[in-house]
Chain A
């Protein structure tokens, strides 16, 4: 059982802060690293994998720094996001090369086992260059698993995978976790992380925004204030009725657009209440539209809420 400790870690590139004072502990089980593109997930994974020095703070694996330490790769398996591999090799040759580089006692057996684990037996003798994105992802996974690492780090592993491949990889990662491994993967898709990860770490704009199981993250995301844009037959009457109820904090009339902007604090209550209010006040609703449902705004709310 291995534990990754990220303690007060920041990383900047020139004037750009990619990772800003993040502290988290990644233990056995599946952890999802969730955040929008450019949030610093890859930078964080690079530091965990020992391929980037933290500008400040420390990344340790079982108490040992990962930076400039070749020995950690006995424990770590890394599935990089980039696709650069050794084209011209077959899938099997590629995994075998990885097994040999690890200095395994029986590289052939380890290779066959890893390839079976990712169910690539059929395509194993084909050139890497002919693989689809999903197949490349799986053979990269086999290469990362060949030495049976205690820690598996995957950078955006589901990118470019079709639904069937996605489900297969999810099963695989769950099995790894069930065997006591520490599995960490990054993703910018909440649903992906939600169904797979027992623990979620949210990173937004380089900062650690939230941490917990998916129920906690879901609640954080649905409990936040929601902004709605309404169009109705009588905006002023509707505004008065809404503000009289405690589910909204502000109502703003926009005379130019002829819309009503509502800041709702209780998501459930507001959505059930709105039609009732409208009917009671004799106002017809033409349009009800959430104005800030993008993932970015959900994330930025999480950051500002801390």
Chain B
């Protein structure tokens, strides 16, 4: 008597990205109400940019102010919050995460797959519209658009890594994420000099400043700090989220 079967021989896995996990995640993320918000936020951004252009004309200073504080500083973290918590939070809440966890897949592969989906949606629904906004505001496909686009991509990935971690660690990830995004990144980060060096927004703007000819007023961090800081944030958040996912307790009696 044997309980094994030839079809259960596993294929060797190479990439830390599982395509089944990503496709299930996309389904959960873009389904229902969340999908509408992913369209509404960039639409709002584009609408405001269009209005500004109409009211103020093509002006680099207006563009930098709008893109830096509002687009990168507020809309992008909100989108990343939506995406980062949305790729794993709902599955933990309704228990369906058990179907991913009861598989011989290293936990960090699950986190990387989900982070990839979150980051991709922030790039599509955040960085790309932001780039278009920059083109509208400056009236050209120049350095400002490229700089902010690149900054938004990097900030989006880092924000997502933080919010995926929050969703694994806490059932109140959305609230905690909001507090972090609004208080730390927007408010305190704008006033307290020490916090500025520990802010994803500032790191992203440092990258933007390298590309943009126009002065980006809020960027106080040097590139030598910003790039390693972004990399370390993503790596640490991914590592710790994987670790916590590995010891996520699932009990039927809740």
Contacts and interface: CB of A to CB of B under 8 A. Distances in A.
A86 B27 contact: yes
Interface string B201-223: 00000000000000000000000
B21 interface: yes
Main secondary structure of the interface of A (DSSP, over half): loop
Main secondary structure of the interface of B (DSSP, over half): loop
A52 B13 CA distance: 26
A200 B23 CA distance: 41
B175 to A, nearest CB: 22
Contacts of A149: 3
B24 interface: yes
Contacts of A155: 252
A68 B10 contact: no
Interface stretch (A94-102, A187-195, A208-216, A294-302): A94-102
Interface stretch (A76-84, A162-170, A226-234, A260-268): A76-84
Interface residues of B, number: 44
Nearest to B251: A46
B253 A73 contact: no
Contacts of A86: 24, 27-28, 96, 99
B195 interface: no
B105 A101 contact: yes
A18 interface: yes
Interface string B1-42: 111111111110100001111011001100100000000000
B20 A43 contact: no
A71 B106 CA distance: 9
Given A82-B95, A101-B105, A105-B9, A148 B4 contact: yes
Interface in B23-63: 23-24, 27-28, 31
Contacts, number: 132
A1 B1 CA distance: 8
Contact of B18 (A72, A88, A101): A101
Contacts of A71: 104
A103 B12 CA distance: 8
Contacts of A103: 10-11, 13, 104-105
B10 A74 contact: yes
B114 interface: no
Contact of B252 (A42, A73, A181): A42
Given A43-B251, A98-B103, 9 more contacts: A43-B253, A49-B102, A53-B249, A82-B252, A97-B24, A105-B11, A109-B7, A148-B7, A180-B3
10 contacts: A42-B252, A51-B251, A74-B8, A77-B102, A78-B102, A84-B91, A105-B10, A106-B7, A110-B7, A147-B8
Interface of A: 1-2, 18, 38, 40, 42-43, 45-46, 49, 51-53, 67-68, 70-74, 76-78, 80-86, 88-89, 97-98, 100-106, 109-110, 113, 143, 147-150, 155-156, 179-181
